[in-house]
Structure 1
Amino acid sequence: MTSGPPSARMTETRSSSSVPFSSAPPRGRRFPLRSIAKAAIGVALIAALLLWQDNGRKLIGILAGFQVEYLLALLALQVLLNAISSLKWRLFLKDRGVDVSFAALFGLYLIGRFFNNFLPSMMGGDVTRSYLLGRRIKSQAASAASVTMERATGLIALTMLAVFFAALNPAAFRSPIVIVTIAGAVVFCLVATLLFVSERVGAWMQGALIKRRGKLSSKLLRLVEEIGLYRGRRRVLFWALVYSCLFQFLAGMNVYYGSLSIGFEPDLLDVLVVTPAILILAMIPVSPNNVGWWEWCFSVLLLGAGATAAEGLAVALTLRAVSWITALVGGVLFVFQRSD
């Protein structure tokens, strides 16, 4: 698979490159009240989960038997997952003629993980790393497009692997929640792919944004234009999907080793089927870093892999704790970046 040289269109005014692609939070009390409400939802979900079926008492016993020898493997997997994502991110940037070192992108990825703890869903840090990279390369549009493509190819690979492993192990695909979640992801990915591939749809979207005046419309127009530049870049898209498939497989292994660390020994194929559904549902913005929602997804969906609700909760908390370690590294990097 070959592709032509990247477009030379990489210019953008200085004023527009200093503003992120998300709309500014509303002034006054609406934004803090909404944040407080989301945090309250997360706390309520955790409380309900601990009270349900006496999971709180069971959880203490399960975590007391945590097998520390698996901690190193879980930390290594966290590093690998972030490294693969950074390599894929760099792949899209290099295709646009933007040369940012792997170490710099890896650091930005960790900073994004840190900000996930304060923003809705588990992808809120994408806004942070996109904005910081945009300042560095003087183009928020190119930065946002690279982050969007990195996430989009990840979702497509996640859905592909979910269908693949479900075909290998149909018994684990019997849960209605898993079926609906993966079916919804398949439909979404097909629609998104068709919209991306169709130049006519892209031109229609650009025309509609041109007619609407305003800062947000102009920023979205530049974002759509930048994303459109990846259309037809077969080699880049192919390797992005390869990186994504490797990432999603390791994400399944992460859940598997997290299960082993608390004494739960599931079938690996069961975990590989259930994990995509968990990760897809975790994208729904429920609370800051999806506290509570992440734990509920594990407690309910790991039932299909033979776990109890308390064991699913223990796996979720174990993986969250390991993730916090890498997030703290990102927080330290952010402090040093602010100092610079």
Structure 2
Amino acid sequence: MRDKLNVLAKAVISLVLVIWVFSRVDVAEVRQMLASANMWYLVLALGLYFGAIALNAVKWRVLLRAQGIYVPLRALLRYTFVGVFFNNFLPANVGGDVMRGYGLSRYTERLTDAAVSVIVDRVVGLIAYMSAAVVAAIIVVNTVENGRDMRTVEYAAFLAFFLIAGGFGVLLSRRLRALVGRAFQWRWLAPLAPIYGRMSDAFGAYRFRYKALSVAFLIALGGLMLTNLVNWLLAESIGGGIPFLYICLFNPLIALVLLVPISIGGIGVNQNAYPFFFGLLGVPHGLALAVSLLMQALIIISGLPGGILWWQLRSIERAPAAPVIPEQAP
């Protein structure tokens, strides 16, 4: 009952946010922009978005290998697309991560390692996103007219970067993990001590994997650049007007905002985030909203293969079990 109420509350929040943002723009103008969208630009944007999803699976594979877990890329692509599918129905990104971890844990029978790999994958991606946002913010502040008004955004990007990177540093530090582990000596936390111990050991596997973490970071930057291009193409498809530099600044910040699990599939939050952020640099709210709606459509379409794969996986699970042959270590 509580889960149903939680879903209902998120659906109501999504609806309220959508109504709110549409009440602040010329709906007829937005409809006209969407109707005039260049289909070839949209197709190219969709292809690049699929490429970004595939890159995320490659990044995940690099991090899993650092843990000594060897899973075929095709399996990781399946779980990644299933995650994209569930992002449309669960809290954005967070719900998809849960489904990715679930699928991998069923495949490897290593629940803790699977969960940690998903967390590290998400954190490394966020560090890459925030570092790119910091660089873009510095450029905007120092080169764009009225860019100095973006100081607050620049400071917010710096703060987010240091908080995420600092938190990850704590997870990798054996001493700091041990210090946190003392809290589980308290009677009311003691039942969770074994779980924390396994999680701590799993995080420890990344402690000296600097090469793997660096490669994953660079792959995340590549994925971010693809999604930046996707947003730029969407804007160009309806007449343009959003400089690529602005997209490089706000796209990662919007991705961070979408991690807040207050809506279904990020609907409503996404549509308000675009006009808010891009409006800071003078982009018309109607144009920003139209781009967000096209982006939402791309996200939904790109999740359809994941829905098919999920249905196939469920069919396989109902069938008699077959032996799993993991990828061989190099």
Task: Report the secondary structure of 1:307's partner residue.
Answer: coil
Task: Report the secondary structure of 2:70's partner residue.
Answer: coil
1:43 pairs with 2, 8, 15, which one?
A: 15
Instruction: Using structure 1 for the length normalisation, give the TM-score.
Output: 0.86
Deviations 1:184-240 (A, max 9, x none): 3123124213313432111122343365333x5433332222012101111111111
Q: Tell me how far apart the structure 2 counterparts of residues 217 and 119 of structure 1 sit (CA, whole Å).
A: 29
Q: Tell me how far apart the structure 1 counterparts of residues 122 and 222 of structure 2 sit (CA, whole Å).
A: 14
Consecutive unaligned residues of structure 1, counting only runs of 5 or more, are 1-28
CA RMSD of aligned residues (A): 1.8
| Structure 1 position 315, deviation (Å) | 0.5
User: Match of 1:323?
Assistant: 299
1:201 counterpart = 2:173: no
Specify the code of the residue in structure 2 equivalent to 1:237: L
Specify the code of the residue in structure 1 equivalent to 2:262: V
User: Match of 1:174?
Assistant: 149
Specify the code of the residue in structure 2 equivalent to 1:194: G
Task: Report the secondary structure of 1:53's partner residue.
Answer: coil
Consecutive unaligned residues of structure 2, counting only runs of 5 or more, are 317-330
1:115 pairs with 86, 104, 118, which one?
A: 86
Q: Tell me how far apart the structure 2 counterparts of residues 115 and 173 of structure 1 sit (CA, whole Å).
A: 39
1:34 counterpart = 2:9: no
In terms of mean alpha carbon deviation, does 204-213 or 275-284 score higher?
Answer: 204-213
Specify the code of the residue in structure 2 equivalent to 1:200: R
In terms of mean alpha carbon deviation, does 194-203 or 288-297 score higher?
Answer: 194-203
Structure 1's 99 and 176: CA in aligned 2 closer, same or farther, altered over 3 A?
same
Q: Tell me how far apart the structure 2 counterparts of residues 132 and 301 of structure 1 sit (CA, whole Å).
A: 35
Structure 1's 318 and 59: CA in aligned 2 closer, same or farther, altered over 3 A?
same
1:274 counterpart = 2:254: no
1:218 counterpart = 2:194: yes
User: Match of 2:216?
Assistant: 240
Q: Tell me how far apart the structure 2 counterparts of residues 77 and 249 of structure 1 sit (CA, whole Å).
A: 10
Structure 1's 176 and 286: CA in aligned 2 closer, same or farther, altered over 3 A?
farther
Q: Aligned residues: percent identity?
A: 28
Matches within 5 A, 1:5-16: none
How many residues are paired up? 310
In terms of mean alpha carbon deviation, does 229-238 or 183-192 score higher?
Answer: 183-192
Task: Report the secondary structure of 1:266's partner residue.
Answer: coil
In terms of mean alpha carbon deviation, does 320-329 or 203-212 score higher?
Answer: 203-212
1:254 pairs with 230, 233, 239, which one?
A: 230
Instruction: Using structure 2 for the length normalisation, give the TM-score.
Output: 0.88
